[in-house]
Amino acid sequence: MELEQQTKRPLVETYAVPILIVAIGAGFLAISGGLTSRSDLLSDAQFSELQERVMTSGGVELPVVWGDLGRRLVETGAIDDTKWGELYGTLSEAEKLLLDGDNPERMRITRENAPYLLNLFWAFGLANKNPILEDKKGMMNPAYGGAGGFASTGGWILSRGDPMEHYNTHSLVTLTEAQQELIDKISRGIYRPCCDNPTHFPDCNHGMAMLGFLELMVSQGASESEMWEAALAVNSFWFPDTYLTIATYMLQRGTLWKDVDAREVLGRDYSSASGYARVASEVQSQGGQGSSCGV
């Protein structure tokens, strides 16, 4: 599989990621710049209904239990709770529980907590031992001079000590051979609109967070179909404008969001930077025709 050109970030770009983290802490969603109030191609009512379908206001239950992973990430130093507190300030009870408590119920991602979960999954994906992070054809390719210069590694400023001291270091969940094979398969098919790389090459925060989320799902017995559906839901909350545009594209072609194939939408043709650029250009080219679409 060909990886995006210039995958390794220059230092100025790598360490611009802390700015992104601050934006996340302030309640903005990376890449999208936050939810827009409406689309130029849909009426207000149509846009609101489409938004509700893509990222329901009540959130989506995920097939994972977080348990005490937040506390374990703090104990290992993958998360420095002092730095975390400086970033977020006063935590809500739910946020505090995810960081240092026990969470026996399934997680729920919402418009409000999506940035917070992104950082938790990022820390978990970075720290948990997994063969994908050891792959010499991936981020550990000697041509890159080590994995420490990527946005997902050098940009993680919320650890105790150097983030590479925690990279692929802590056995937080252990997978069977069959589970690892499933992770390998699915991670190669999930893209993100900030670049042209799949989750199998987690060089940015969203990629590393998605890898962690996949590991957590498969370790708790989620089926392959559940994993594809949950991954699409999570990506939709992390990149709201992107997936609202993709949903509009699908709608213009007669497919409701509830009927889309999650695996197809998460693939290169739609969810990579280049795939999304094509989709967005085709949606924009239809101009005001979008206002006639039924939801």
Question: pLDDT digits over 190-220, tens only?
Answer: 999 998 999 999 999 999 999 999 999 999 9
- Report the b/e string of 230-243 with b at 16+ CB within 10 A: bbbbbbbbbbbbbb
Indicate the average pLDDT of the chain. 86
pLDDT digits (tens, 9 = 90+) for 262-284: 999 999 999 999 999 999 999 97
Find tokens 């489409």 and name the residue. Answer: 50
Q: Are 48 and 142 in contact (CB under 8 A)?
A: no
Report the residue count for the chain.
Answer: 295
- Report the b/e string of 149-185 with b at 16+ CB within 10 A: bbbbbbbbebbbeebbebbbbbebbebeeebbebbee
Q: How many CA atoms lie within 13 A of 2 on its CB side?
A: 5
Beta bridge partners of 60: 109
3-state class of 62 per DSSP?
Answer: strand
Q: Is 220 left (phi over 0), alpha (psi -120 to 50) or beta?
A: alpha
Nearest alpha-carbon partner for 115 in 25, 186, 16: 25
What does DSSP assign to residue 293? -
Residue 33 pLDDT > 70, yes or no?
no
Going by pLDDT thresholds of 50, 70 and 90, the confidence category of residue 285 is low
Q: Which amino acid is at 96?
A: K
Find tokens 């209904």 and name the residue. Answer: 49
Q: Which residue has the higher pLDDT, 46 or 144?
A: 144
**pLDDT at position 40, please?**
59
Going by pLDDT thresholds of 50, 70 and 90, the confidence category of residue 138 is very high
What is the pLDDT averaged over residues 161-179? 97
What's the CA gap between 229 and 260, in Å, rounded? 10
Which of the residue ranges 40-44, 83-87, 140-144, 192-196 would you say has the lowest mean pLDDT? 40-44
What's the CA gap between 51 and 59, in Å, rounded? 12
Q: How many CA atoms lie within 13 A of 92 on its CB side?
A: 6
Q: Are 175 and 238 in contact (CB under 8 A)?
A: no
Residue 243 pLDDT > 80, yes or no?
yes
92-101, long-range: CB < 8 A, 24+ apart? 98/66, 98/70, 99/70, 99/71, 99/74, 100/70, 100/71, 100/74, 101/68, 101/70, 101/71
What's the CA gap between 267 and 191, in Å, rounded? 6
What's the CA gap between 92 and 132, in Å, rounded? 34
Residue 6 pLDDT > 70, yes or no?
no
Going by pLDDT thresholds of 50, 70 and 90, the confidence category of residue 229 is very high
What's the CA gap between 131 and 187, in Å, rounded? 12
Q: Are 155 and 203 in contact (CB under 8 A)?
A: no
